[in-house]
Amino acid sequence: MRAAVYTGNRTVSVQEIPVPAPGPGELLVRVHSCGICHTDLKKIEYDLLAAPRVFGHETAGEVAAVGEGVTEYQPGDRVIAFHHIPCGSCFYCHRKLYAQCEVYKKVGITAGFEPAGGGFAQYVRVMDWIVRRGVEKIPDGVSYDRASFVEPVNTCVKAVHQLRLDPEDTVLVQGQGPIGLIFTMLARRAGCRVIATDTIGARLDLARRFGAAEAFDPRVADAARICQDLTEGRGADVAISATSAPGLVEEAVRSTRPGARIMLFAQTSGKERIELPGKDICMGERLLCGSYSASVDLQAESARLVFNGEIPVEELVSHRVALPDVRRGIDLALHPDAKSLKIIVQPQRLS
């Protein structure tokens, strides 16, 4: 089969590699759609993991073969598969902090080499513990492109559950890329008033279309002042940092009221530093929190939201690239232009 192999030094090249064989309890899935996620981009751009690997984890496809003992799935089933599933019995699982579970941290899908998701390949092997709890069937009539959003939507739903949004909340969503727009949709679905920021005009237009009460470029408008003006001088009740840039979290603190909840969602780099006046958190009684990756408890909910069209995720797709063009897709995701948003790799297309 063909796969986009990360070979180190920011390099991804399309190569011929063996089709992986499913072992007992495993699936072989023919990949039809795989979204490009910024966590994979960071691993490639900053050479965070040893090569060779095949990245891509927002995977939707068709069961091509089943391993010994698999009875719930059969060839021809259309599925999505999560690449992380927790053990369910450790210290962190008992506290529903699944992303901290050691089993969760193991990647359970591979196209070959060290497991890394594998969705940027024509076939992936889904390991047994993922098959048992991390696979969802795609209903008839739902495209593979739409289905590939189940995993990223899950990560956003997890953060929203943690924030305990109230319909009376005013929510500042910083960044209106695919993830930020999903947060805008979810906050509006919860009945909240949304204030959206981004530096790309087309994304602000989408935020307004998805229900944002205000959408503006924070480089030319004062986010803190606008949040205060819309809340009788208090500031937003909730802020979600759905992108990462210097000063963003500081802006979130300035834009929120005392007692606000501030969610760090995109601050995944160990090199990123945040400097805040201690009194703004302590005396201001703000809750500063983080949310990372997906929750197994929310698989059914996130699948329903996507499959039933309760949030229109397919409207976020701006580009679909064939496997040989994966580097172009990666570069476009790294350096978005006015028209780029969610980029889907379709590995069965070779041109």
Give 110's strand partners: 125
Element (H or E) spanning 91, and its range? helix 91-94
Question: Do 22 and 126 fall within a single domain?
Answer: yes
Per residue of the chain (351 residues), give pLDDT as tens: 999 999 999 999 999 999 999 999 999 999 999 999 999 998 998 888 999 999 999 999 999 999 999 999 999 999 999 999 999 999 999 999 999 999 999 999 999 999 999 999 999 999 999 999 999 999 999 999 999 999 999 999 999 999 999 999 999 999 999 999 999 999 999 999 999 999 999 999 999 999 999 999 999 999 999 999 999 999 999 999 999 999 999 999 999 999 999 999 999 888 889 999 999 999 999 999 999 999 999 999 999 999 999 999 999 999 999 999 999 999 999 999 999 999 999 999 988
pLDDT of residue 350: 84
Considering only CA atoms, which of 221, 275, 270 is closest in space to residue 246?
Answer: 275
Q: How many folded domains does the chain comprise?
A: 2
Question: Do 166 and 261 fall within a single domain?
Answer: yes
**CA 200 to centroid of chain Cα atoms:** 20
Question: Do 121 and 41 fall within a single domain?
Answer: yes
CATH code of the domain in which 210 resides: 3.40.50.720
pLDDT of residue 272: 86
Question: Do 119 and 214 fall within a single domain?
Answer: no
pLDDT of residue 128: 98
pLDDT of residue 270: 84
Question: Do 161 and 247 fall within a single domain?
Answer: yes
On whether the CB atoms of residues 61 and 68 are closer than 8 A, the answer is no
Element (H or E) spanning 151, and its range? helix 150-163
Question: Do 71 and 135 fall within a single domain?
Answer: yes
CATH code of the domain in which 327 resides: 3.90.180.10
Contacts of 259 (CB under 8 A, 6+ apart): 284, 285, 286, 287
How far is 342 from 324, CA to CA, in rounded Å? 18
- The verdict on pTM exceeding 0.75 is yes
Half-sphere exposure (CA, 13 Å, Cβ side) for 21? 3
How far is 124 from 210, CA to CA, in rounded Å? 34
Instruction: Write the DSSP assignment of 48-64 as a string of letters.
Output: -SPSSB----EEEEEEE
pLDDT of residue 85: 98
Question: Do 160 and 141 fall within a single domain?
Answer: no
Integer angstrom CA distances of residue 114 from 21, 83, 316, 331:
15, 13, 31, 24
How far is 69 from 125, CA to CA, in rounded Å? 15
How far is 351 from 237, CA to CA, in rounded Å? 48
Confirm whether 295 is domain-assigned: no
* Cβ density class 312-323: b for 16+ within 10 Å, e for less: ebbebbbbebbb
Domain span holding position 260 = 154-290
Integer angstrom CA distances of residue 5 from 152, 162, 203, 325, 327:
22, 36, 31, 13, 10
Question: Do 326 and 272 fall within a single domain?
Answer: no
E-state strands within 132-235:
135-137, 170-174, 193-197, 214-216
Question: Do 47 and 110 fall within a single domain?
Answer: yes
